[in-house]
Structure 1
Amino acid sequence: MKDFLWLFIVIATVMVFPICFFIRENPFDTTSFLSLEEKEMVAWQRARMQIIPGRTNHLETFKNMQKKLELLKNINTQILIGAPPLKKKLLTIGISSVQHSSGSYLLDTVQSLFVASSSSERKHFIVLVHLADPDPKWLGQMISNISTLFKPYIQARQLVVINTPLKNYLLLKDLKKNFHDTPAYVTFHFKQNMDYAFLMNFATNLSDYFLMIEDDVTCAPGFVTQIATAVSAWRNKPWLTLNFSPLGFTGKLFRTRDLPCLVHFLFLFYQKMPCVYLLTHFHDLLMEPAPIQFFPSLFQHMTNYSFFDSKFNSLKGKEIEENDPGSPSNPAASIYTNLKVANDSVLMNAYSLDKNFFYTKSAEAGSHLTVVLDVPAKVFQVQVLTGSHLKSKNQLEEGQVELGYDATNRVNDCDDYILLGLLENGTLNKQVLSDESGKKVKCVRLLVTATPPSGIIVRHINLWIK
């Protein structure tokens, strides 16, 4: 027993001594607000992740945080249009916009957000627009346009427009240039860091999640459900940022509880680099996993013209996939259901690629029809069609489609399901977001959520796989 105790002490000493030595030899500032535990955490980060000193030098300026926090207490962000929701929402979609010499797409972006979402989806989010240009003429014109074009959404408390007076901004003089950046370029991006910080600061208590997009994007249909599905799938996993677009600051999702820390970080280092690069260092600082990237992108730039640089560049990349995915794949599978199968109906017709269909005379809430693939696959699109093709009768009006994953090799079911989307007018046609891990789908389940007044026709359950 004594030998074991001595062995434990030796191992502990070997592990702790290098960290303590690292802290003594590399002090941030013994008079700063960082506690010993915090210094140890940073030491662990640098020792374990082997981050080069240049990437963590910004930690030395953390002694300025208390002074910067005073700025946040005196922010005078004003509501120009609308009012915050009466109850906390699932999602706040944030946009910060200034005028551009080559034109503005802000109104088109806001329009796309509402058009690409259903009435039921719109109940779960609020659009927050930060008009961040101090020009009173531009502000007046944008206020007038937004008030006229989006009046129903404003009245429904689904759209709020804010502005932060220029006096709240930190100095934008004598800014440090990086590489061969022009002074105007530096000023634009460093002011943008504060624009985003003011926007996020206002959004902190409006919802559970915050989605940042830029002011020149169009949205994939059903993007809200797609994001909710991804959040559900990652609910028990560690993440700081979920990426729903690979470009710029568009499509970055955060928990609102993390926003105050990110706001402080942007204010501390607004003069260091553009926000998209600061986000990488923010992950390093908190020792959080790298952002999780989902494909395909839910947001597409409306143009490949760079507003600020006044030149064309490759902004689009691999964005939203084409609307036509080709013919469905429907790999080999079995079908299971607790629906009452009509005497003259064949269950497998629901999954066939011909004109046959499956019919059930009655259904109850909780009933299901589940396709179980013989071999799990990377499914990238799902289509479910119910009801008569000619008369639109016998549709399943209240139902949903779920994707199943299996870790226990169950024969006729899966042990983990996530929501893909709700049926609308008896149909669903959605792309399936997938992260870089490429998790494979084993089950596709059509679930009845409310007892229908009559029988149901399931014409097609179509799958596209990679």
Structure 2
Amino acid sequence: MIMTNTIAVTSTRKKCIIILMVVLVPCAILNLVSTPDMSEETILQNGIAELQVKLEHLQSKYINIQEEINILSHQLLSLTENSHNIPDLQFLMPNTTTNITSIKLPSIYNFLPHILNDHNSLRPAFLQSKSRCGVSMVLGVPTVKRDVQNYLMSTLKNLLDRMTPAEAADTIIIVMVAEIDIDYVTYIAKQIEVQFPVETDNGLIEVISPSSNYYPNLTKLRDTLGDDHQRVLWRSKQNLDFAFLMSYAQTKGTFYIQLEDDILAKKNFITTMKTYALQKISMKENWFVLDFCQLGFIGKLFKCVELPWLVQFFLMFYNDKPVDWLLDHLVSTKVCSLDKDSKHCKIAKAELWLHYKPSLFQHIGTHSSLKGKVQKLKDKQFGKITLYYAHNNPDASVETQITSYKQYTLRKAYKGESFFWGLLPQPGDYLKFKFVHPIFIKKYLFRSGNLEHPLDQFYNTTVEILLVNSKSIDRNRNDVTEDGYIIIGKFDSLGVAQGTVDKKYGKVAVIRLSVHGESDNWAILSEIHIVPDESS
């Protein structure tokens, strides 16, 4: 009965693949027909290219299924040695003989033999997923615990803000928390769920973490390349982390993009990458890597069906070199000839490793995940980053006890000439805007942090107003301060405070930001927008 069920499953899965192929043909083209600014010929070419990649993806899934069936068949054959204990087995497998010898090819167990001791080693220890799959773009975002600053939430917000709804519907973001402390992993997952509830609920964002048994004994690593042991440990673990993440992502979609947890993306980056990839496929260019950022391993795009090349290579040499060096060596191994010079090698690699300009991603992190390492790497091809937003605010005088850094004063920020950057806000500090002529306020917006310093936000800070007729305010109200200000809002977890002011309050003389807790960071005010109610 075992073999009968196996054959039935195989037949069913083949039928499913055929059905998916039939469905994907019109879908791939239909999705592109609505894309603006594209000729019919280009739409058709890209549709065919997308279909080609999806068929390759289905073929990869089929191979994986066949591998599982072969493993099961091998296990069944091995049982024939004890077939006298299983009477039905000989009947199910009449043509089998004992003492069958077969070649066993290398697998992950050859490079990580320790995982043989635990069959759950390759299962995520933590998985927050809605089982979304079949998308075009899979973004891999590995993250680890950082001693100084963690940029993950601002990175996720930036990625989501730079997507259209259509792009988001065709994308999965896989956050891999590469830590074995399950409490920390759960904490990060909860943060993501709270800050991005819709994206978590619809499966756009997934969170995974590896089992502690996935990693070998890292204390026994060989020191290589003249690096100190701490750096060898850091880069070796990173290789293993990337291999785990890619292995999980392989079946999720068509293209995989490796990112980091401290980056910025340009608007519509999803469509730009997908279009570029399909164009190269339709032009019959046999690429292996599409590079959308010139730094390290950021913004590297691969076909999901080719991720096994990378996973296998990383596992083979995880102790030997950093991940970006291994990628370069893999491409070199594919095309470089030993009997030709470096110039020919460079030309050959350029055909497999295509660079897109200008860059779509920028590195913003200053503090590396390697303890003590400070890196100020910037991709010059990314272009200028908007660090503040200017508005024509009502005439007002400004005041604060927070010491400003260099020329980044509150006055310039209010006038839209720069952003405010203050040193370590403390409880009791405030930023006060006193209007020359009291006004009715329609709405307000205060945005803290900026793209280069996303964590320099105002935390535990309220927005308060002082009315012209403040003496009439009941001081016993919960939303009224001791000095007569009415609390109308506060900064949220993303560093933004925005809202409206009820006309019933009358004219406002002062609007104030009051700090109620200590901060580990400096604070930036990158946008100040106060809109008067002209109708009053």
> What is the TM-score with the length of structure 1 in the denominator?
0.53
How far, CA to CA, are the matches of 1:115 and 1:80 in structure 2?
Answer: 24
Structure-1 residue corresponding to 2:127 = 80
Query: Which residue identity lines up with residue 289 of structure 1 in the other structure?
Result: K
Question: What's the CA shift for 1:268?
Answer: 1.0
Tell me, yes or no, if structure 1 residue 240 matches structure 2 residue 288. Answer: yes
Tell me, yes or no, if structure 1 residue 230 matches structure 2 residue 276. Answer: yes
Percent identity of equivalent pairs: 27
Deviates further, 145-154 or 129-138 = 129-138
Question: What's the CA shift for 1:302?
Answer: 1.7
Question: What's the CA shift for 1:228?
Answer: 1.3
How far, CA to CA, are the matches of 1:315 and 1:193 in structure 2?
Answer: 20
Question: What's the CA shift for 1:313?
Answer: 3.4
Question: What's the CA shift for 1:96?
Answer: 1.0
Q: Max radius of gyration: which structure? A: 2
Partners of 2:225 and 2:321 within 8 A in 1: no
Structure-2 residue corresponding to 1:162 = 208
Structure-2 residue corresponding to 1:289 = 349
Question: What's the CA shift for 1:232?
Answer: 1.9
Aligned to 2:173, the other structure's residue is in SS state strand
Within the candidate set 335, 358, 361, 1:299 is matched to 361
Which is bigger in relative contact order (C-alpha 8 A, separation at least 6)? 1
Structure-2 residue corresponding to 1:256 = 304
Q: Map of 1:272-351 to 2, 5 A cutoff?
A: 272-287=320-335, 289-290=349-350, 291-308=353-370, 310-322=372-384
Structure 1: segments with no counterpart, 5+ residues = 1-61, 325-466
Structure-1 residue corresponding to 2:193 = 147
Tell me, yes or no, if structure 1 residue 188 matches structure 2 residue 234. Answer: yes
How far, CA to CA, are the matches of 1:170 and 1:191 in structure 2?
Answer: 9
Structure 2: segments with no counterpart, 5+ residues = 1-104, 336-347, 387-536
Q: How many residues align?
A: 262
How far, CA to CA, are the matches of 1:91 and 1:300 in structure 2?
Answer: 19
Q: Map of 1:46-65 to 2, 5 A cutoff?
A: none
Partners of 2:176 and 2:208 within 8 A in 1: yes
Residues 315 and 234 (structure 1), Cα distance of their counterparts in 2 relative to 1, 3 Å cut:
same
Partners of 1:94 and 1:128 within 8 A in 2: yes
Residues 246 and 219 (structure 1), Cα distance of their counterparts in 2 relative to 1, 3 Å cut:
same
Tell me, yes or no, if structure 1 residue 199 matches structure 2 residue 275. Answer: no
How far, CA to CA, are the matches of 1:245 and 1:318 in structure 2?
Answer: 10
Within the candidate set 202, 210, 219, 2:256 is matched to 210
Residues 145 and 177 (structure 1), Cα distance of their counterparts in 2 relative to 1, 3 Å cut:
same
How far, CA to CA, are the matches of 2:108 and 2:125 in structure 1?
Answer: 25
> What is the TM-score with the length of structure 2 in the denominator?
0.46
Q: Which has the higher strand share?
A: 1
How far, CA to CA, are the matches of 1:178 and 1:318 in structure 2?
Answer: 31
List per-residue Cα deviations over 1:225-266 (Å, max 9, x = no partner).
110121122112011111100111110000000111211111
How far, CA to CA, are the matches of 2:227 and 2:111 in structure 1?
Answer: 26
Question: What's the CA shift for 1:116?
Answer: 0.6
Query: Which residue identity lines up with residue 80 of structure 1 in the other structure?
Result: L
Q: Which has the higher helix share?
A: 2
Question: What's the CA shift for 1:65?
Answer: 6.4
Partners of 1:239 and 1:289 within 8 A in 2: no
Question: What's the CA shift for 1:285?
Answer: 2.7
Tell me, yes or no, if structure 1 residue 172 matches structure 2 residue 218. Answer: yes
RMSD value, Cα? 2.3
Residues 233 and 78 (structure 1), Cα distance of their counterparts in 2 relative to 1, 3 Å cut:
same
